[in-house]
Amino acid sequence: MTQHDSQLMAQTRNSTVGEVPFELKDLFFSRTDDRGVIIHGNSVFRKISGYMWEELKGAPHKVVRHPDMPKGVFQLYWDKLKAGDYVAAYVKNKAKDGRYYWVLAVAWPIAGGYISVRVKPCCGLLDKVRDIYARLREAETEQGASPTRSRDMLLAEVGELGFASYEGFMTAALAQELEARAQRMGSKLGPRQMRFQTMAKTILQIREETDRMTEIIKAIRTVPMNMRILASRLENAGGPISAISVNYGSMLDEMAAWVRSFVEGEDSTYMRMLTTIQQGQFLVNAGSLQAEMSAIFQEDVRHAAAKDDVLRDKETLIAEEIAFQKAAIDALKVVEIEATRLGRSVLDMKRYVTGLSSTRMMCKIESAALTGTGDSLAGIVEQLDAGQDEIEARLARIVELNTVIQSNTAMLRAMS
Contact, 153 vs 259, CB < 8 A? Answer: no
Cα 229 off chain centre by = 47
Say yes or no to pLDDT of 82 above 80.
yes
Same-domain pairing of 24 and 86:
yes
Reported confidence tier of residue 233, pLDDT bands at 50, 70, 90? low
Same-domain pairing of 306 and 370:
yes
Taking the C-alpha atoms of residue 297 and residue 318, their distance in angstroms, rounded to an integer, is: 11
- Where residue 273 sits, what CATH number does that domain have? 1.20.1270
Q: What is the mean pLDDT of residues 368-389?
A: 67
Structurally, the chain folds into a number of domains equal to: 2
The verdict on residue 117 lying in a domain is: yes
Instruction: Name the DSSP letter for residue 116.
Output: E
User: Rounded to 5 degrees, what are φ and ψ at 100?
Assistant: -125, 165
For residue range 246-277, list pLDDT tens digits in order.
Answer: 777 777 888 888 888 898 888 999 999 999 99
Taking the C-alpha atoms of residue 152 and residue 397, their distance in angstroms, rounded to an integer, is: 37
Per-residue confidence (pLDDT) for residue 123, from 0 to 100? 93
Same-domain pairing of 393 and 265:
yes
Instruction: Name the DSSP letter for residue 67.
Output: T
Least confident of 8-22, 38-52, 148-162, 277-291: 8-22
- Where residue 7 sits, what CATH number does that domain have? 3.30.450.20
* End residue of a domain, out of 183, 209, 230: 183
For residue range 23-51, list pLDDT tens digits in order.
Answer: 999 999 999 999 999 999 999 999 999 99
Instruction: Name the DSSP letter for residue 32.
Output: E
Which position has the higher pLDDT, 264 or 238? Answer: 264
Q: What is the pTM of this model?
A: 0.87
The verdict on residue 171 lying in a domain is: yes
Which position has the higher pLDDT, 250 or 154? Answer: 154
Least confident of 8-22, 71-85, 174-188, 297-311: 8-22
The verdict on residue 298 lying in a domain is: yes
Reported confidence tier of residue 138, pLDDT bands at 50, 70, 90? very high
Per-residue confidence (pLDDT) for residue 11, from 0 to 100? 42
Per-residue confidence (pLDDT) for residue 240, from 0 to 100? 64
The boundaries of the domain holding residue 65 are 1-183
Say yes or no to pLDDT of 85 above 50.
yes
Which value, in Å, is the radius of gyration of the alpha carbons in the chain?
A: 28
Same-domain pairing of 272 and 396:
yes
Say yes or no to pLDDT of 364 above 80.
no
Say yes or no to pLDDT of 73 above 70.
yes
Contact, 39 vs 32, CB < 8 A? Answer: yes
Say yes or no to pLDDT of 353 above 90.
no
The verdict on residue 189 lying in a domain is: no
Taking the C-alpha atoms of residue 171 and residue 89, their distance in angstroms, rounded to an integer, is: 10
The verdict on residue 407 lying in a domain is: yes
Taking the C-alpha atoms of residue 135 and residue 148, their distance in angstroms, rounded to an integer, is: 15
Same-domain pairing of 71 and 14:
yes
Per-residue confidence (pLDDT) for residue 47, from 0 to 100? 94
Provide the mean pLDDT of the chain. 87
Per-residue confidence (pLDDT) for residue 346, from 0 to 100? 87
Per-residue confidence (pLDDT) for residue 222, from 0 to 100? 74
Q: What is the mean pLDDT of residues 332-359?
A: 84
Least confident of 94-98, 171-175, 242-246: 242-246
Per-residue confidence (pLDDT) for residue 3, from 0 to 100? 41
The verdict on residue 19 lying in a domain is: yes
Per-residue confidence (pLDDT) for residue 189, from 0 to 100? 95
Per-residue confidence (pLDDT) for residue 375, from 0 to 100? 55
Same-domain pairing of 237 and 263:
yes
* End residue of a domain, out of 161, 183, 205: 183
| Cα four-point dihedral sign 296, 299, 300, 301 | positive
Contact, 27 vs 292, CB < 8 A? Answer: yes
Say yes or no to pLDDT of 386 above 90.
no
Furthest C-alpha separation in the chain: 98
Q: What is the DSSP string of 363-389?
A: HHHHHHH-SSSHHHHHHHHHHHHHHHH
Per-residue confidence (pLDDT) for residue 220, from 0 to 100? 79
| Cα four-point dihedral sign 204, 209, 214, 219 | positive
Q: What is the mean pLDDT of residues 135-156?
A: 97
Same-domain pairing of 154 and 284:
no
Same-domain pairing of 121 and 165:
yes
Three-point CA angle 58, 62, 64, nearest 5°: 95
What share of the chain in percent tops pLDDT 70? 83
Q: What is the mean pLDDT of residues 330-344?
A: 92
Contact, 156 vs 139, CB < 8 A? Answer: no
Same-domain pairing of 315 and 357:
yes
Taking the C-alpha atoms of residue 383 and residue 224, their distance in angstroms, rounded to an integer, is: 11
Contact, 87 vs 170, CB < 8 A? Answer: yes
Same-domain pairing of 96 and 208:
no
The verdict on residue 188 lying in a domain is: no
* End residue of a domain, out of 149, 183, 217: 183
Per-residue confidence (pLDDT) for residue 179, from 0 to 100? 97
For residue range 277-318, list pLDDT tens digits in order.
Answer: 999 999 999 999 999 999 988 777 666 656 777 888 999 999
Per-residue confidence (pLDDT) for residue 226, from 0 to 100? 65
Same-domain pairing of 157 and 220:
no
Q: At 54, which helix (H) or strand (E)?
A: helix 53-56
Same-domain pairing of 274 and 401:
yes
Contact, 313 vs 268, CB < 8 A? Answer: no
Q: What is the DSSP string of 119-181?
A: E---SSHHHHHHHHHHHHHHHHHHS---HHHHHHHHHHHHHHTT-SSHHHHHHHHHHHHHHHH
